[in-house]
């Protein structure tokens, strides 16, 4: 089906340094059955939906005019349209409702939910934690390579399938340094291994100050995993590892994640 998002360029999209100027050129609608509310984000509500026999995650945005601001729905859809990576949630299309002019963004449905769901069910093993870190860093390495920073890596935004796939959504054109993502992965990795974020009994400001002045809390873990954390949780972003450099180390520690670990039923 024809996409409603198009400007001149490859596959209907022109990629620029600041990314895309998105204009709605038409209104196309697909009827799908909404099955379940999955969550709410900054710019929309996400629901589980079924079209034919296939399940999707559908993000609903409210459209206020014909030109979608790049800080909202247009940015998400434009970026998703040009991204393709095994660790990035697949973009399946976008449609405008002729009824209420809401924008519906159709995404790959990850049927085991998010990493936060799994952490509330069971703490992952060291190998499973390394697998998550490996796949998240793989996705981030791709995003950073094309000039995009995620800016919101956390267990709630890491999606999982029962088949064992681990994926993140796209990010935003770089306005922050890419190293903010590496720090966030380090915090998430620490929580996966220890069961809590560093300095969990501190306020957010106190915890950041402690991380910058004292370093991360020292806990018992394998030297290799500890070394991975030490590459990510460096207060000076210049000295902090890149997604690619930490990815190379994490590959040595990771192994396939058993699907039994993803079964929360």
Quote the domain boundaries for residue 159. 115-262
Whether 250 and 132 share a structural domain: yes
Which of 7-16, 34-43, 49-58, 140-149 is modeled with the greatest confidence? 140-149
Who has greater pLDDT, 111 or 102? 111
Q: How confident is the model at residue 108 (pLDDT cuts 50, 70, 90)?
A: very high
The verdict on residue 135 lying in a domain is: yes
| pLDDT (mean) for 25-46 | 67
- 82 touches 64 (CB < 8 A): no
8 A C-beta contact, residue 185 and residue 140:
yes
Let me know: does 106 contact 95? Beta carbons within 8 Å.
Answer: yes
Contacts of 144 (CB under 8 A, 6+ apart): 178, 181, 242, 243
Confidence grade of residue 213 (pLDDT, cut at 50, 70, 90): very high
Single out the residue in 76, 108, 140 at which a domain terminates: 108
Residue 260, pLDDT score: 37
114 pLDDT above the threshold of 80: yes
**Final residue of a structural domain among 78, 108, 138:** 108
The structural domain count of the chain equals 2
pLDDT of residue 107 exceeding 60, the answer is yes
Most confident of 46-60, 105-119, 159-173: 105-119
- Judge whether 1 lies within some domain: no
Q: Do 217 and 244 fall into the same domain? A: yes
Tell me the per-residue pLDDT of 61-77, one tens digit each, with 9 for 90 and over.
765 554 444 456 666 77
Rounded to the nearest 5°, which phi and psi values hold at 27?
-125, 115
220 and 190 together in one domain = yes
CA torsion sign for 48, 191, 88, 74 is positive
Flag whether 183 is in a domain.
yes
pLDDT tens, residue by residue, 150-197: 999 999 999 999 999 999 987 666 667 899 999 999 999 999 999 999
Q: Is residue 126 part of a domain?
A: yes
Residues 257 and 142 in one domain: yes
Residues 102 and 120 in one domain: no
Domain-located, residue 78: yes
Strand positions, DSSP E, 97-141 = 102-108
Domain termination site, one of 50, 73, 108:
108
Q: What is the pTM of this model?
A: 0.79
pLDDT tens readout for residues 21-31: 333 333 445 66
Give me the CATH number covering residue 130: 1.10.510.10
4 domain-assigned: no
User: Residue 59 domain-assigned?
Assistant: yes
First-to-final CA distance of the chain: 36
Q: Are residues 55 and 102 in the same domain?
A: yes
User: The domain that contains 79 carries what CATH number?
Assistant: 3.30.200.20
């Amino acid at each position: 089906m024809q996409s409603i998002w198009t400007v001149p360029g490859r596959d209907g999209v022109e990629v620029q340094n600041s990314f895309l100027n998105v204009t709605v050129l038409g209104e196309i609608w697909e009827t799908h059955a909404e099955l379940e509310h999955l969550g709410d984000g900054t710019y929309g509500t996400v629901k589980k939906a079924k079209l034919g026999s296939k399940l999707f995650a559908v993000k609903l945005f409210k459209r206020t005019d014909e030109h979608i601001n790049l800080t909202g729905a247009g940015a998400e859809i434009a970026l998703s349209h040009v991204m393709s990576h095994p660790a990035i949630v697949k973009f399946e299309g976008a449609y405008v409702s002729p009824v209420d002019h809401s924008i519906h963004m159709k995404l790959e449905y990850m049927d085991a939910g998010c990493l936060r769901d799994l952490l509330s069910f069971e703490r992952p093993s060291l190998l499973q934690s390394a697998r998550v870190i490996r796949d998240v860093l793989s996705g981030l390495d791709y995003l950073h390579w094309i000039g995009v920073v995620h800016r919101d890596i956390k267990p709630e935004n890491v999606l999982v399938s029962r088949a064992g796939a681990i994926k993140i959504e796209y990010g935003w054109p770089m306005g922050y340094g890419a190293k903010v993502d590496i720090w966030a992965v380090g915090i998430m990795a620490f929580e996966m291994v220890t069961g809590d974020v560093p300095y969990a009994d501190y306020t957010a400001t106190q915890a950041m100050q402690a991380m910058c002045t004292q370093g991360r809390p020292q806990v018992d873990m394998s030297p290799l995993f500890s070394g991975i954390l030490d590459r990510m949780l460096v207060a000076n972003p210049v000295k902090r590892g890149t997604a690619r450099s930490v990815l190379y180390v994490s590959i040595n520690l990771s192994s396939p994640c058993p699907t039994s670990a993803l079964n929360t039923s």
